[in-house]
Structure formats: structure tokens, C-alpha cells
Amino acid sequence: MLLTVRLEPDCDGTAMVALHTTTKRKTVTTVAKATG
């Protein structure tokens, strides 16, 4: 995945990073709910 992002144009790379960040937030929120 990381290699693919690096080969993609900058605009697509940024979109992938944004998507990854969003996914990470959802995961953290889910874990927080499960833990808390």
C-alpha cells in the first residue's frame, strides 16, 4: 500500500493519506468505545 501511494501522483497520494487518517480515527474511536 505504501509503495503504491508513493508511485501515485501527489493529489492521489494526499487523498490516500486523508483516507488512511480517517480510517485510523474511526479505529481509535471504536477502540476507545470498546475500552471505555
Residue range 1-36, pLDDT digits in tens:
455 545 555 555 566 666 667 777 777 777 777 776
CA atoms within 13 A on the CB side of 22: 6
Q: What is the pLDDT of residue 1?
A: 46
Read off the pTM. 0.32
DSSP string, 1-36: -HHHHHHS-HHHHHHHHHHHHHHHHHHHHHHHHHH-
Q: What is the pLDDT of residue 32?
A: 74
Q: Is there a contact between 8 and 16 (Cβ–Cβ < 8 Å)?
A: yes
Count Cα neighbours of 27 within 13 Å in the Cβ-side half-sphere. 6
